[in-house]
């Protein structure tokens, strides 16, 4: 959506102050551990853009809380699987040989939106070590959440998602995005065993202080049915829905979402 279209759809500018009020109205509290998925354009025209959104989120959870965002880097993957757009087959080996190693300090996100891309650069934010599906965090529990992120399974119980699950009271915030963006459901996929097939993955990373292309097996994660999963989840659990800026937003328990996704996937896949 162009900036002009966003302005045309916005009655009054969205500000850090108004965002903070909306976040509190949704149920976000001081001390919360919050996993955020977001669409900047859905909020309307924001005075200060992504910076104002991040500052409002940090103010909402305060120093006692922890803010977490997925900062995935889809480019750091096997080019055979690229489809948006694909690259010629004769390029594949060149990519295997030359893709820079993932660097949590500089490797950009892809397809995550402007808010997490800026969040990863904020002071006192740390990023996990996974070259494809990293998470960033700031606040009280950031080290505990980010310190471990094994190559595989990338969304398993040993990943930041598993740590967030074990914290019990972690909340998920969807700002202007649907359940197809809810990475917590991927943790559910790892918990259903053979119902989810596995596949070969590849990435460029540092191994023993040298850049290397590494192959590994992981689950074949699939969000195609997450919208249906989320709709049924809403029918059985407490979901708070309010506007944040112009964006329809949802707040719910991460643990409840994961537990329900496991049950739903066992029945429906």
Least confident of 5-14, 128-137, 205-214: 5-14
Section 260-267 average pLDDT: 96
Q: What is the pLDDT of residues 131-179, one digit of tens each?
A: 999 999 999 999 999 999 999 999 999 999 999 999 979 999 999 999 9
Q: Tell me which residue range forms the domain holding 114.
A: 3-268
Q: Which secondary-structure segment (H or E) carries 210?
A: strand 210-219
Q: What is the pLDDT of residues 59-97, one digit of tens each?
A: 999 999 999 999 999 999 999 999 989 999 999 999 999
Whether the Cβ atoms of residue 186 and residue 50 lie closer than 8 Å to each other: no
Section 20-24 average pLDDT: 98
Question: Is 1 a residue whose pLDDT tops 80?
Answer: no
Q: Which residue has the higher pLDDT, 196 or 39?
A: 39
Section 112-129 average pLDDT: 97
Whether the Cβ atoms of residue 172 and residue 241 lie closer than 8 Å to each other: no
Domain total for the chain? 1
Question: Is 195 a residue whose pLDDT tops 90?
Answer: no
Question: Is 119 a residue whose pLDDT tops 80?
Answer: yes
Evaluate if pTM is beyond 0.85.
yes
CA distance linking residue 231 with residue 203, whole number of Å: 34
């Amino acid at each position: 959506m162009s900036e002009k279209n966003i302005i045309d759809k916005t009655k009054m500018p969205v500000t850090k102050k108004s965002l903070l009020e909306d976040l509190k109205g949704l149920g976000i509290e001081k001390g919360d551990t919050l996993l955020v998925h977001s669409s900047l354009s859905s909020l309307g025209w924001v005075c200060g853009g992504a910076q104002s959104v991040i500052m409002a989120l940090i103010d909402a959870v305060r120093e006692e809380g922890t803010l977490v965002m997925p900062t995935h880097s889809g480019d750091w993957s096997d080019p055979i699987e690229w489809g948006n757009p694909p690259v010629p087959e004769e390029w594949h080996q060149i990519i295997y040989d030359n893709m820079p190693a993932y660097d949590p300090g500089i490797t950009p996100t892809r397809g995550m939106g402007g808010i997490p891309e800026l969040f990863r650069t904020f002071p006192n934010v740390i990023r996990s070590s996974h070259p494809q599906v990293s998470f960033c965090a700031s606040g009280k529990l950031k080290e505990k959440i980010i310190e471990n992120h094994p190559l595989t399974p990338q969304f398993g119980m040993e990943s930041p998602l598993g740590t967030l699950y074990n914290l019990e009271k972690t909340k998920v915030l969807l700002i202007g995005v649907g359940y197809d963006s809810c990475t917590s459901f991927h943790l559910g996929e790892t918990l259903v065993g053979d119902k989810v097939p596995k596949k070969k993955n590849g990435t460029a990373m540092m191994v023993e202080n040298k850049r290397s292309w590494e192959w590994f097996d992981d689950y074949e994660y699939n969000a195609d049915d997450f919208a249906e999963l989320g709709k049924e989840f809403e029918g059985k659990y407490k979901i708070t829905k309010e506007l944040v800026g112009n964006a329809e937003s949802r707040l719910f328990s991460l643990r409840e979402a994961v537990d329900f996704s496991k049950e739903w996937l066992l029945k429906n896949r």
